[in-house]
Amino acid sequence: MNQQVLLHKRPQGNISSTDFSVLQTEMPTPADGEILIKNEYVSIDPAMRGWMNEGTTYVAGVALNTVMRAFAAGTVVQSNHPKFKIGDAVQGLTGAQEFAVSNGQNIDACNLALGPLSWHLGILGMPGMTAYFGLIERAKPQIGDTIFISGAAGIVGSTVGQIAKILGCRVIGSAGGEEKCQHLLNLGFDAVIDYKTENLTAALTRHAPDKLNIFFDNVGGEILDAALAHLAWGARVVICGAISQYNNQQFYGPKNYMKLVSARASMNGIIVFDFKERYPEAVVQLSEWLKHGQMQYKEHVVQGLDRFAEALNMLFTGANFGKLVLKV
Ligand SMILES: NC(=O)c1ccc[n+]([C@@H]2O[C@H](COP(=O)([O-])OP(=O)(O)OC[C@H]3O[C@@H](n4cnc5c(N)ncnc54)[C@H](OP(=O)(O)O)[C@@H]3O)[C@@H](O)[C@H]2O)c1
């Protein structure tokens, strides 16, 4: 049998366990030109909250009563496809389910010499690519730049911060709680802001007296406004995400956007999929930095597909500490 997580209803606000149904279904069989993958890890990502909504943003919302869209990593267990053989480690958007049939499109081989399978959903996968290209291509960091990263203890934020350090920036991060803030200092961040207890504006003034050359935003809302008010001349603001807003019916828009004018600054969005053809370059570079101890990677593993809704909610309460994956 195949265990699957289906989107059962669309949340209005916070996610609830009744938004999903977990079913045992017939084992799928691959046709000619297809493979059967046994997923070992399912990635839990903030974007899933948007995918649960009706309508289309950069991708269409997941249809009700179909398998929840998810990146997953696993092993090929049957192959009728010339490019794949039994035992290959692969990852792709194969859904929140134990077994998936695929025609091989958008399924990537995982080179386990570069890192264990689950890492290919994290630092060597989509979130790592987001950090790498979001920083390098959108923020264009220069030696000596001061960068502020919101959501800094997450997989994207902590990777951005560590790359920025390697590239010679002064790095400030915000996160919720003492433990996450201490972790960022251990990773080499120059300063941290606990957004749950500190006044953001006062903290930014203290830690960045010459203001911010780059703001890499994962959170949105009030953090975005505080950072906009603190931009240096020619600053680059990268809008990667706005997790503080995903459960809201209405997004909080920036009030301080006119600061972009006085600072002659720019604000750009990033969608990681636009860099798909360049992923191999980033995977090699990130794995090199990891191998040489220039970067660290932290995972948070939750056991069992039946805990899908609980795990997804952890991203919104901050209960995850590291890249969140479900072990199937
Ligand atoms: N544009 C793209 O292509 C792309 C691709 C991947 C990810 N993203 C975005 O990147 C961001 C980070 O994703 P991730 O995978 O690295 O997740 P993550 O940071 O590992 O996990 C989410 C974290 O967000 C923080 N958070 C939740 N609610 C918050 C709130 N109201 N205010 C402040 N912080 C809050 C929590 O940390 P604390 O405990 O510190 O609060 C939580 O641990 C998300 O916005 C995501 O949508 C964008």
Question: Of the residues 49, 136, 137, 156, which should be mutated to test ligand 1's pocket, given the most ligand atoms within 8 Å of the CB?
Answer: 156
Q: How many CA atoms lie within 13 A of 123 on its CB side?
A: 26
In the numeric block, the tokens 């997790």 are attached to: 243
Q: Under a CB-based contact definition with an 8 Å cutoff, are residues 177 and 110 in contact?
A: no
What's the pLDDT at 224?
98
Q: What pLDDT is stored for residue 149 in this prediction?
A: 99
Q: How far apart are CA 5 and CA 91, in angstroms?
A: 18
pLDDT at residue 100 in the model: 98
Please name the residue whose Cα sits nearest to atom 20 of ligand 1.
Answer: 154
- Given this model, what pLDDT does residue 240 score? 98
pLDDT tens-digit readout, 221-266: 999 999 999 999 999 999 999 999 999 988 999 999 999 999 999 9
For 202-229, write each residue's pLDDT tens digit.
Answer: 999 999 999 999 999 999 999 999 999 9
Name the residue with the closest Cα to ligand 1, atom 44. 241
How would you write 152-165 as a 3-class SS string? CCCHHHHHHHHHHH
CA 35, CA 274: separation in Å to the nearest integer? 26
The pocket around ligand 1, CB under 6 angstroms, is made up of: 45-47, 127, 130, 151, 153-157, 175-176, 180, 218-219, 240-244, 270-272, 315-316, 318, 320
Does the pTM surpass 0.85? The reply is: yes
**pLDDT score recorded for residue 57:** 85
Judge whether 295 and 159 are in contact, CB under 8 Å. Answer: yes
State residue 56's pLDDT score.
Answer: 85
- pLDDT at position 135 is 98
- Report residues of the chain scoring pLDDT below 50: none
For residue 159, the model assigns a pLDDT of 98
Using DSSP bridges, classify how beta strands 35-43 and 299-303 pair: parallel, antiparallel or unpaired. Answer: unpaired
